Amino acid sequence: MRRLISPALATAVCLTVASLILPAAAAPKAKAHAKPAAAEKQSTAVRGGPTYATRDDAMQFADEVAARRKLDPEWVRATIGGARMLTNVPRLMLPAPKGTPKNWHAYRARFIDPVRIAAGVRFWRNNAETLARAENEFGVPAEIIVGIIGVETIYGRNMGSFRVIDALSTLSFDFPQAHPRAAERQAFFREELESFLSTESRTHEDPMRPLGSYAGAMGMPQFMPSSLAKYAVDYDGDGRIDLVNNTVDVIGSVANYFKAFGWKRGMPSTFPVQFDEARLQKATLLAPDIVPTFGADSFVAAGAVLDAQAASFKGLLALIELQNGGDAPTYVAGTQNFYVITRYNWSSYYAMSVLDLGREVKAAMEQ
């Protein structure tokens, strides 16, 4: 997806998300849509301003979606019209002020701790057979899948308490214009809202019930609606996709996502790297950001020092810089598989947290 969004900062109210339990095949068209429930009957997790029923831009968008997707116009209008503007969400989307120092060590500490590691061990033990199956079929190691689910929701403990319809509508119609990429990000959330409405219409569930993060990400793996539609799989073959309660479907869906974005079986995600300061062309190595660009030979020619395994690596590499506030940055050489992890969340800090959590859980398992 995209882009996927960062781990939910929502409060830890883990409720069943009815419409994340999807039929594996399209539902019968003869079944009537579930009517959106009245706003006053919704979860107490909903906090916000007025509904979008009186907003001309929201109702115009509803009509456009209905026409594009061939949905019931009244149902789409009622659904968007019943969404509430979440007054605290727009500010959560603003980037940190310029000059705010990044700190990899502090970031890492948020996700690699005894509680999350212990929960990861339990998750791995309880789902060892499915994780092994997914690794065999998709080529994605168990520790990567375990790392993702642990960073995102602590294995289902923190799946978010915002109504998805409220979050997506707020970011579609009231995205903060102070954001440097406001137009692009608002367009993205409108696409996600449209995808959510399309799925809700197909499954005939109440669109007011699903809960997720403040950005509309859902379930244990925090899939955005478009990712849910494209990559979620019925991995246990029971005829439905459940990313809230069914860890088999969750594991299969995460593995399928990574495979779809180009995960390479058996390829390391990172290699250690040091520098020959006399030859170092750090600006050249950092210019492509995290996109793998350099062969091992050109990487070394620009002043990087690699171990034997990395030096013989046949794929492309990127220099990954993780800043540590006022201390010296941390550097690794990232491969295509490191880049794939950032397709889940566009952050090298996030990707390193996933890798480190998976490694820590695996080490604890082996002990």
CA distance 140 to 337: 10
Q: State the first-to-last Cα distance of the chain, in angstroms, to the nearest integer.
A: 36
Is the four-CA dihedral 266, 267, 270, 271 of positive or negative sign?
positive
152 as an active site residue: the answer is: yes
User: In angstroms, what CA-CA distances link 212 with 39, 46, 124, 216, 282?
Assistant: 17, 11, 24, 6, 41
Strand partners, 162: 212
**Interatomic CA distance for residues 295 and 167, integer angstroms:** 43
Beta-carbon contacts of 350 under 8 Å, excluding residues fewer than 6 positions away, are 6, 7, 151, 341, 342, 344
CA distance 319 to 245: 38
| Residues whose CB is less than 8 angstroms from the CB of residue 96 and which lie 6 or more positions away in sequence, other chains included | none
The one catalytic residue among 135, 143, 152, 205: 152
| Contact criterion met (CB below 8 Å) for 272 and 332 | yes
Residues recognised as catalytic: 152
